[in-house]
Amino acid sequence: MLRIDRSIRFPYFKRAALCCALILAAPAASLAGQEEKPKLSLQQQIEQIDQEIVLLRAELARNNGDVEGLKRYIRELDEMDLIPGYKARFELLKAFLKEQENKPKPSVSVEASFHLPDMNGTVVVLLPLSGEYSVVGETILSGLTENWPLSKQPVVLDTAIYDNLFELWELVKLYSPDFIIGPLDRSRSLAWQALNTNIPTLYLNQLDHFNQNEKGLSPSKMSGLPQLQAFIEKGGYNHLLVLKDRSEHSEKLEQKFQQAWLKENPYTSYESIVVTDRVDQAVNTALNIQSSMSRHNWLQKTLQTRLEFEPRARQDIDVVIDFLSRGDAVQVKPLIDFYHLNRTLNLWYPSVYPSRLELQAHLGAWQQTYAFLPPYLTQMDDSDAEENVIESKTGLFYALGELSAKIVNNFRILEPEQIIEYSPLGELISDSYGELQLLPNVYWLDDKQLQPVPELPFRF
């Protein structure tokens, strides 16, 4: 055996010669024993790459805890004729999925921190019944009391007369409540949460987090984004253009949707454009209209003659999503149709909800657009005057009180992944974390038409 003393420093050319000598000295049998692997055909190489991509996506879903995504990729792999080298990885993925499916689903029993009152339980309701929000508070209270399901009527306290919620808490304790509904506005809800009352509380607001003895009941645009994603995935669309404005609501909606979409659809085309001044300018930029016009001008100048011209828009966009207000969103479909993208879907997910009367007044301006809206906005009532919409029994706040009453003894809210109640605010579900979410409905808007689209089941 040749022994090399590594303390000796060989000049470069001597080291190279030594390496060559070592290679030549290697037994011929050892080289001969290495059989050359059969070359794969081009089609086999393509299939191997396809399988590797799906495997990597499945492993990423597993690492991120995305069980639904993992199921989908395993179904794809099942339909492939996997090469032997990938079968071991596939079996590991199937074993992980089986383990996850066999785990008992998390549930919250009636004996847990958040429990509902019995028929004779004491419920305290905290609402602003005077001051700036008195009309809102009174309307919620009407919906609540007119639909109250328990034998014992609730104790109602006016939060507006207390500057310090600790004083209100001292009063609430005197009633020894089993359950609390409210407060309504966010600042008071946060202050109440800081008191750590340990009493089951149903806030009429959505907070950043809830303790084990707390839930929130309030419309939230964020909660409906999975509906939007499911709607697009159901159609098999892969090229998305998203329009947003500079408002905080629009930015947050687009950001959350983008993260969720690209997590499950990483190989699709996703592009977002900000509407700064005018919608037509943003659409022109997104569709490359300005580039088309620039080419026309250059050619016309070069040839020194007037040319017949029609701007050519890019043709790869399947869906346009509008995280815009009503006034901006209503312009989008006519613009994309003008550039002959008639087959492109236009989906309006409002950054700010219009009023019912505003939506009704401008129905004739809409063209072939799917809108994601809470049902109460579509319940048109000609007898409602503008100033009476808030107090109306078909309005947002009455519906909030009515829904609070309907679920105060509905034990489905104690379990995750439940469809609980349909309401004018939307379909109420309990998500995989046990938090309450109100989902918008999908409507077809076109030339004074406002038609509900067949129900789209929520993907838990």
Is residue 18 over pLDDT 60?
no
pLDDT tens track for 304-354: 666 565 566 688 899 999 999 999 999 999 999 988 888 999 999 999 999
Q: Which of 18-32, 204-218, 351-365 has the lowest mean pLDDT?
A: 18-32
Three-class DSSP category at 179:
strand
CA distance 418 to 434: 9
State yes or no: pLDDT of 162 exceeds 80.
Answer: yes
More confident position, 40 or 340: 340
Nearest 5°: phi and psi at 422?
A: -90, 135
Cα–Cα distance measured from residue 261 to residue 267, given in angstroms and rounded to the nearest whole number: 10
pLDDT in tens, 366-420: 999 999 999 999 886 654 544 455 566 778 899 999 999 999 999 999 988 899 9
Across 22-31, 219-228, 296-305, 333-342, least confident range? 22-31
pLDDT beyond 90 at 160: yes
Q: Average pLDDT in the 233-262 region?
A: 94
- Tell me how far CA of residue 151 lies from CA of 111, 240, 243, 425, in angstroms: 21, 53, 51, 26
pLDDT at 37 over 60: no
**Cα distances (Å, whole numbers) of residue 431 to 314, 401, 434:** 39, 21, 5
Q: Is a pLDDT exceeding 70 seen at residue 64?
A: no
Give the model's pLDDT for residue 32.
Answer: 43
Cross-strand partners of 105: none
| For helices 186-193 and 165-173, angle between their N-to-C axes, nearest 10 degrees | 60
Residues sharing a CB contact under 8 Å with residue 206, sequence separation 6 or more, in sequence order: 216, 218, 220
Contact predicate 182/408, CB 8 Å: no
Measured between alpha carbons, how far is 387 from 390 in angstroms, rounded to an integer? 7
> Which range among 133-142, 356-365, 431-440 has the greatest average pLDDT?
133-142
11 pLDDT tier (thresholds 50, 70, 90): very low
Residue listed under structure tokens 């919906």: 143
Residue 23: pLDDT band with limits 50, 70, 90:
very low
pLDDT score of 304: 67
Give yes or no for residue 40 having a pLDDT over 80.
no
Say how far apart CA 381 and CA 390 lie, in whole Å. Answer: 13
Strands (E), 133-178: 155-158
| Helices and strands, number each (H, E), in the chain | 16, 15
Please give the average per-residue pLDDT across 251-262, as a whole number. Answer: 94
Structure tokens at 98: 């089986």
**Residue 67 pLDDT:** 76
% of the chain beyond a pLDDT of 70 = 79
Both tokens of residue 33?
């024993």
Burial of residue 301 (CB within 10 Å: 0-12, 13-18, 19+) is exposed
Backbone angles phi, psi at 25, to 5 degrees: -80, -10
Q: What is the mean pLDDT of the chain?
A: 82
- One-letter amino acid for residue 332 of the chain: V
Helix axes 225-235, 248-264, angle to 10 degrees: 50
Most confident by average pLDDT, 56-65, 221-230, 324-333 = 324-333
Write a three-state SS string for 236-273. Answer: CCCEEEEEECCCHHHHHHHHHHHHHHHHHCCCCEEEEE
What is the helix (H) or strand (E) element at residue 348, kind and residue range? Answer: strand 345-348
Separation of alpha carbons 252 and 256, rounded Å: 6
Q: How many CB atoms lie within 10 A of CB 156?
A: 17
CB 274 within 8 A of CB 242: no
d(CA 303, CA 335): 30
Please, is 312 exposed, middle or buried when counting C-beta atoms within 10 Å of its C-beta (0-12, 13-18, 19+)?
middle
Query: Tokens 């959350």, residue?
Result: 256
Residues in the chain: 460
**Mean local confidence (pLDDT), 184-196:** 91
Interval 124-143: pLDDT, tens = 999 999 999 999 999 999 99
Which stretches of 64-164 are DSSP H helices? 67-78, 84-102, 134-145
| Range 260-277 average pLDDT | 92
